[in-house]
A = this chain, B = another copy of it.
Amino acid sequence: MLALYHFGPVANSLTPLLCLLEKGLAFDNRVLDSRKWEHHDPAFRAINPNGVVPVLVHEGRTVGESTVINEYLEDVFPEVPLRPADPWLRAEMRVLTKYVDEYFCPALTTIGAHGATPFASKIDKAEMAARLANMPDEEVRRKWATVSETGYSDEELADARRKLGNCIARLEGILDGGRPWLLGEFYSLADIKWYSMAPALPRVMPEACNPDATPRIAAWLERMAARPAVLALPDYAPKR
């Protein structure tokens, strides 16, 4: 009845995966291997012509975009609510997921994609050209063209790191006042969305995000890591 196509428990793929697990919903676990470019294969493009994951298939209908998938899961399966009933808190939640989609994720993607340059630059030029020609999404194609050729410029990387610094400050600020979750007492899709990206922060920005500098983020990451749904995530990683 439900199937999730994804890359494993990381970044945008983690967003709906964690939502499904928190809700205790059974689903077909369809892990694609990004390093084999399975998401650009005809089999997956028959499901999502854009060749982008994650994608949820429910009763034969396809839903894309991780944040939208989670709102869809709330609309259809409200039994374990991850969206607060109070409309104002709900708006807060949406402001927070929107910020990740528009600001945090693009900055982290620049750093992450740049990190793939050693991998991508080793690919045979003719093979890479064929891979690029097979990428249906123009922005994805442009990203991989950059990554496989020069990587991002120092200026672009510095700008991405500046933005990640703002994400750290924002997250530490949100968690002010001893609240356990981003909306306060209510664990929500905002925690799930931020947790899809935030574990990278202490790794990418150790000087700015560490238990001394950002104790609230450190404590929230620990609370997240202890949730049964999060503990189950390794089972959904690609088998390599």
- A72 at the A/B interface (Cβ < 8 Å)? yes
- A43 at the A/B interface (Cβ < 8 Å)? no
The answer to whether A95 touches B166, judged by C-beta atoms less than 8 angstroms apart, is: no
> What's the nearest-Cβ distance from chain B to residue A71, in Å?
6
- A75 at the A/B interface (Cβ < 8 Å)? yes
**In the assembled complex, which residues on chain B have CB atoms less than 8 Å from the CB atom of A69?**
91
Stretch with Cβ within 8 A of B (4 or more), from A60-68, A193-201, A216-224: A60-68
The answer to whether A90 touches B65, judged by C-beta atoms less than 8 angstroms apart, is: no
How many positions in chain A have a CB within 8 Å of any CB in the partner chain?
23
**Bound Cα distance A95, B75 (Å):** 15
The answer to whether A65 touches B101, judged by C-beta atoms less than 8 angstroms apart, is: no
The answer to whether A72 touches B95, judged by C-beta atoms less than 8 angstroms apart, is: no
**In the assembled complex, which residues on chain B have CB atoms less than 8 Å from the CB atom of A101?**
98, 102
- A94 at the A/B interface (Cβ < 8 Å)? yes
B-contact bits for A81-96, CB 8 A (1 contact / 0 none): 0000001101100110
The answer to whether B138 touches A95, judged by C-beta atoms less than 8 angstroms apart, is: no
- A46 at the A/B interface (Cβ < 8 Å)? no
Among B68, B71, B72, B91, point to the contact of A72 (Cβ < 8 A).
Answer: B91
**In the assembled complex, which residues on chain B have CB atoms less than 8 Å from the CB atom of A126?**
none
The answer to whether A65 touches B138, judged by C-beta atoms less than 8 angstroms apart, is: no
CB-contacts of A83-126 with B (<8 A): 87-88, 90-91, 94-95, 98, 101-102
**Bound Cα distance A71, B89 (Å):** 12
The answer to whether B138 touches A98, judged by C-beta atoms less than 8 angstroms apart, is: no
- A76 at the A/B interface (Cβ < 8 Å)? yes
> What's the nearest-Cβ distance from chain B to residue A66, in Å?
10
> What's the nearest-Cβ distance from chain B to residue A78, in Å?
10
- Tell me the nearest residue of chain B to A97, going by C-beta: B68
**In the assembled complex, which residues on chain B have CB atoms less than 8 Å from the CB atom of A75?**
87, 90-91
> What's the nearest-Cβ distance from chain B to residue A141, in Å?
12
Among B72, B88, B98, B138, point to the contact of A67 (Cβ < 8 A).
Answer: B98
The answer to whether B102 touches A87, judged by C-beta atoms less than 8 angstroms apart, is: no
Can you offer 10 A-B residue contacts whose CB atoms are under 8 A? A64-B95, A65-B98, A67-B98, A68-B98, A71-B90, A71-B91, A72-B87, A75-B87, A75-B90, A98-B101
